Amino acid sequence: MKRFQWSVMLAAVILALAGQNLAQQSSTSVVVHAGHLLDVKTGKLLSDQTLLIEDGKIVSVGASAQTTPPSAAVRIDLPNATILPGLIDAHTHLTMDPKFGYEELGLSIPRQTLTGAKNARATLQAGFTTVRNVGAAGYSDVALRDAINAGDVPGPRMLVSGPALSITGGHCDNNYLPFDYHATSNGVADGIAAVQHKVRENIKYGSDLIKVCATGGVLSKGDDPQASQYTLEEMKAIVADAHRLGRKVAAHAHGAQGILWASQAGVDSIEHGSYIDDAGIAEMKKNGTYLVPTLYLGDWFLENAERNHVPDFLLAKAKAVMPAARQNIAHAFASGVKVAFGTDAAVYPHGLNAHEFAVMVKLGLTPLQAIQAATLNAADLLGWSGKVGSLEPGAWADIVAVDGDPLKDVTTLERVKFVMKGGEVVRNDYGK
């Protein structure tokens, strides 16, 4: 009996030591040494910095001379690079590609999900380690998010909305087919009771946030981008249910009235904001509503409209809305609205997201303000401050690196050469 007891005790000790050793192996430390680090909070470009990473999170950040990394840590040297937090795009459609008009009708939900896997990889490789996906058919973005989280496919961290809420025949309803088909988009709901039900249904099937189409749009048939669609009362009901259930609300809104009503209803962000006016600006500043301008898409869309066979009825709206948007959004920037970076990726090819920075700077933001929009501000909008958008202890180790100083030339962010997500290197052109 004593021999048996000793054998059991010995086996327990061996298993405990093996488990401890396995735990030590699984929590590999990573050290990143960079020639420069952009502190997005202060705007300072710091020299010779070292980050210690454990279990995918940043443990410490500081001057290399004052840092003693563990001897067994994996070391990544970027002596000639500038590192900054992984970038955030708060307005993407990863499950869609630049397909316009009737061409969209041939895409099944499974095909859109697989398209999303392709675009998720391109987005991550471009340095965008976090995105907010605002509108996808059939919860294809929920499936994509879950596949990324499970490690099945590479991609950025995702917060997803599922189907966008829309009035019947609105911008986010399918309006390319005639009456015979009785085609209705997944997110269609009319009236207070119906929109409350739709919010709850979206949450039931996995949505992290709610997207609502408050006005008409550009890439839709038969509606006016300046016309409000949901009423103020309907939007208040949407926001009340979403916020009570722990979800933020993003409102597609081009027209001035829709922007005003959406902010009054309590939405967390206005997407596009093309015809924003002083009343809307004042309301958004009072309520702390973020503006998510989507600007670069205008350049790409108009330059490639003929090659992409854009229908005339869409092109006519684009030529009216997109130039007006730049003028009005420049005024909003100058007036001090809160800005979070977003691009509407899918209207242009995914992976070109960083081209947005140059347009934001052209319309009045400083390079630092534009970068803060894609880091600190976007993280705040997503509800992930301290997790993403900054290089500080406790944050996920999401890091990008570029050559040069992005504060002097913001277009350097279009040429990301190193990407890390959660402590794992997903791109390293410096190692080639």
Q: What are the backbone dihedrals phi and psi of residue 62, each rounded to the nearest 5 degrees, phi first?
A: 180, 180
Rounded Cα distance, 225 and 428, in Å: 42
Specify whether the CB–CB gap between 78 and 35 falls below 8 A. yes
Specify whether the CB–CB gap between 270 and 262 falls below 8 A. yes
User: Which of the following CATH numbers is that of domain 27-86+391-431: 3.40.50.2020, 3.40.50.300, 3.20.20.80, 2.30.40.10?
Assistant: 2.30.40.10
Specify whether the CB–CB gap between 415 and 409 falls below 8 A. no
Full pLDDT tens readout for the chain, 432 residues: 455 455 545 444 444 444 444 334 345 899 999 999 999 999 999 999 999 999 999 999 999 999 888 888 999 999 999 999 999 999 999 999 999 888 888 889 999 999 999 999 999 999 999 999 999 999 999 999 999 999 999 999 999 999 999 999 999 997 888 899 888 999 999 999 999 999 999 999 999 999 999 999 999 999 999 999 999 999 999 999 999 999 999 999 999 999 999 999 999 999 999 999 999 999 999 999 999 999 999 999 999 999 999 999 999 999 999 999 999 999 999 999 999 999 999 999 999 999 999 999 999 999 999 999 999 999 999 999 999 999 999 999 999 999 999 999 999 999 999 999 999 999 999 976
Cβ-Cβ contacts under 8 Å for 353 (sequence gap 6 or more): 87, 89, 92, 123, 126, 128, 343, 345
- CA gyration radius, the chain: 24
What's the pLDDT tens digit per position in 152-169?
999 999 999 999 999 999
What count of other Cβ atoms lies within 10 Å of the Cβ of residue 245?
A: 12
**CATH T-level assignment (fold) for domain 87-382:** TIM Barrel (3.20.20)
Specify whether the CB–CB gap between 212 and 231 falls below 8 A. no
Residue intervals of the chain classified under CATH 2.30.40.10 are: 27-86+391-431
Rounded Cα distance, 61 and 248, in Å: 31
In degrees, to the nearest 5, what angle opens at C-alpha 368 toward C-alphas 36 and 250? 120
What's the pLDDT tens digit per position in 200-213?
999 999 999 999 99
Residue 368: helix, strand or coil by DSSP? helix
pLDDT, position 182: 87
Residue intervals of the chain classified under CATH 3.20.20.140 are: 87-382
